[in-house]
Amino acid sequence: MTLNSNSRLLGRRVSRHAARPRRWGLLPMIALVILSSALVACYPVRSMPDVIGLYELKVGNDRISLDVSSDQSFTETIRWASGKVEQRTGKWYWNRSSVAFDGLWIPKSFAPDYIEAADAKSNLSQPKYTEPGNWSVSAERHWGRVTLAVFPDADIYFRMVGHSSR
C-alpha cells in the first residue's frame, strides 16, 4: 500500500505532495541569514578609540602605512615600488563615524582613473585630490576589520592591520 491509500483507509485525505519537504519554508530562513550577514558585514565605527591603530593602503607595489595614535596625531609613510620612502605627520579629528586628517597625502599612484581625470580638469586655484591636504573619510567595519574609505567607489581603503605603535 502507498501513503495515499493508507491515509484513505484512515479517513484522511493527503495530497500527493505531502511527503515532499516544503521548499518555500526555507526561503524566509535563507533570506534572514543573508540579510543578517549584510548587517554584520559592514557598519559605521561609532567610537573614537576604535579607529586608533596602524593602517595600510596598497595599490600595485606602492604602499601607504598610516599610524593613527591616541593623542590625535598621525604618521603617514609612503613607500613606492622604486624604493623611495616619504614620511609625513599631522593631526586627526573624530566626528561621528568619520575621521578628518590635516595634511594627509594620497599620491596619484593610489588614485583611480576618475580622480586623476578630475585633477587634470581642475584649474590652478583648486585643490587636487592627489596633493597633500585635508581629508575626511568614513570609518567602517568590514567583516570586523576597521577601514577608512579613501575612494570607496574604486574599493580603495586604508585597512587596519594592527595597533598603533605610539
Residues 35 and 66 in one domain: no
Predicted pLDDT of residue 144: 83
Residues 18 and 70 in one domain: no
Residues 90 and 142 in one domain: yes
Residue-by-residue pLDDT tens, the chain, 166 positions: 555 555 555 555 555 555 555 556 666 766 666 655 555 567 788 889 999 999 999 998 999 999 999 999 999 999 999 999 999 999 999 998 899 999 999 999 999 999 999 999 988 888 888 889 999 999 999 888 999 999 988 999 999 999 776 6
Domain housing 64: 46-162
Residues 117 and 154 in one domain: yes
Predicted pLDDT of residue 124: 84
The count of domains in the chain is: 2
Residues 152 and 73 in one domain: yes
Residues 131 and 66 in one domain: yes
Sequential DSSP letters for 55-110: EEEEETTEEEEEEE-TTSEEEEEEE-TTS-EEEEEEEEEEETTEEEEEEE---GGG
Residues 58 and 107 in one domain: yes
Contact 85, 78 (CB under 8 A): yes
